[in-house]
Amino acid sequence: MKSLIKKLFGGQTLMKFSGTLLVKLLGTAIAFLSQVALTNILGASEYGDFVYIFSWVMTLSLIARLGFDNLTIHLLPKYLIDQKQELIKGLIRFTRLFALVLSLVIGGIYLLSAFYLVETEMWLWTANTIAMLVVLPLIVLAYLNQSLLVALKKTVIANIPILILRHLILTIGVFLVYQFTGTVDVQTAMLINAIAIFLAFAMSFWWISREMKFLSKLKKINMVPREWLRKSLPYTIYGGASFLNRRADILMLGAIALSVDVAVYNVSFQLISFLALGINIVNQIAKPKIVEFFARNDLGKVEAYSVKMALLNFAFTLVASLVLVFLGKPILSIFGPEFEAGYEVVMIFALGRTLSALFGISTVILAMSDYQKLISRLELVFLLLNILLNYLLIPIYGVVGAAIATSIALFLRRLTDYLFCINRFKINVGLFNLKQIISLR
């Protein structure tokens, strides 16, 4: 059995998948401990302020990155194959400087808007200032470094600084300050958060420097900013629409349903997010490989590799879904008896995710093959469909309606991307490609 699995996926792919999964699970556990520490030390009210401010940071960072993270993953493997070292150095420098300046501008606009439109106490204003002028630029740079490491096929290492080190430093820092002073406020917690993110950035920067030593020896640098900005804009639209798509159901429930429905659905959705680990990890691993195959115009390898990754994702999703079928209700009951009503939501999402996994990594293939405008338009179309379905089904079926609406929109989105791959590239990248699956034996 072990030899069969290695033959199907390759030892290196399995190691990357297992390593990245371990990092993400460990990061999730540390993040949970961090939340426990913050809620107990800050208190519910100040913790709410911390989460609200940092939520704005994460939202604005999506804009400030301007799609440069996906652009880097798309271009860097090509530049490495063509040995365009001067362009590599130019791309890294340009994206960092542009994103840094843009994040400071966006943070400044946010602070000015808050100053003139909202009456804010001085302590909260200080926390906002730290968040927008320190945390925001640092998190943007840290995510750009993560994308560089992913493009270099260092998937496991790429996730350690942000997912593990940041949460670990934040938790330890808050705990130590509380032990020595007896109190921690929002400003202090945000400052510790800034230090944690800076250390995450520094770690990823050091790893990149080790992997790309040749850049330090280069005296020349080449930049094509207009071309890079033109290619990054669709990624920005795609990222924004995707961000809203993942939250459309919660937003619609909050507008239409009761608060208790939102609470039940949110807990159920957090449980279901475990299923998305498979596709998220597979996408990270696959992106630079897909770019390489397209750069060599080898559609045969794109198809064969994509079917392997589809099998890996489907296997994980199926096993994870079965775990939730048997353990979903007991886990939900931990939060209280009223949350057991979310079991139907879990089952619907499990079915939807499993069926969607049949279509493989078609979205990544389109994103990494100069079809950025297409995927951004498709994401906007399915965002509108998701909102419409939630609007129609939530008043009738409540949280179950939200789950059905979101699952249908996800399924149709994956199906559309899959059909586009067949139409545009004449390759079958899903699990319906029996020829490729049989050839893997």
189-212 in b/e burial notation, b at 16+ Cβ within 10 A?
bbbbbbbbbbbbbebbbebbeeeb
Query: What's the pTM?
Result: 0.82
pLDDT of residue 10: 56
Give the pLDDT confidence of 409-425 residue by residue, as tens digits: 999 999 999 999 899 88
pLDDT of residue 40: 77
pLDDT of residue 120: 54
3-state helix, strand, coil in the chain (%, to 5): 85, 0, 15
Give the pLDDT confidence of 87-120 residue by residue, as tens digits: 989 999 999 999 999 999 998 888 887 766 655 5
pLDDT of residue 141: 94
Element (H, E) at 56: helix 44-65
What does each C-alpha distance from 380 to 31, 33, 127, 189, 376 come to in angstroms?
31, 36, 34, 36, 6
Give the pLDDT confidence of 322-374 residue by residue, as tens digits: 998 888 888 888 777 777 888 898 899 999 999 999 998 888 898 888 788 88
Q: Average pLDDT, whole number, for the chain? A: 84
Give the pLDDT confidence of 372-398 residue by residue, as tens digits: 888 888 889 999 999 999 999 989 988
Give the pLDDT confidence of 41-93 residue by residue, as tens digits: 877 677 777 777 887 888 888 889 988 998 998 888 888 888 888 898 999 99
Smallest CA-to-CA distance from 278 within 332, 168, 191, 356 is with: 356
Percentage of the chain beyond pLDDT 70 is 93
Distance, in Å, from the CA atom of 296 to the CA atom of 315, rounded to the nearest integer, reads: 29
Query: Tokens standing for 418?
Result: 């899959």
What does each C-alpha distance from 331 to 8, 101, 267, 334, 346 come to in angstroms?
34, 45, 10, 6, 11
Query: Tokens standing for 97?
Result: 């400087």
pLDDT-derived band at 259 (thresholds 50, 70, 90) equals low
pLDDT-derived band at 1 (thresholds 50, 70, 90) equals very low
Q: What is the largest CA-CA distance in the chain?
A: 66
Distance, in Å, from the CA atom of 151 to the CA atom of 78, rounded to the nearest integer, reads: 10
Query: Tokens standing for 30?
Result: 């540390």
pLDDT of residue 4: 47
Which DSSP string corresponds to 284-341? Answer: HHHHHHHHHHHHTT-HHHHHHHHHHHHHHHHHHHHHHHHHHHHHHHHHHHTT-GGGGG
3-class SS of residue 68:
helix
Give the pLDDT confidence of 272-309 residue by residue, as tens digits: 877 788 888 888 888 888 888 888 888 888 888 888 88
Distance, in Å, from the CA atom of 285 to the CA atom of 152, rounded to the nearest integer, reads: 10
Give the pLDDT confidence of 169-194 residue by residue, as tens digits: 988 988 898 888 888 888 888 888 89
Cβ atoms < 10 Å from Cβ of 434: 10
CB within 8 Å of 249: residues ≥ 6 apart: 265, 269, 386, 390, 402, 403, 405, 406
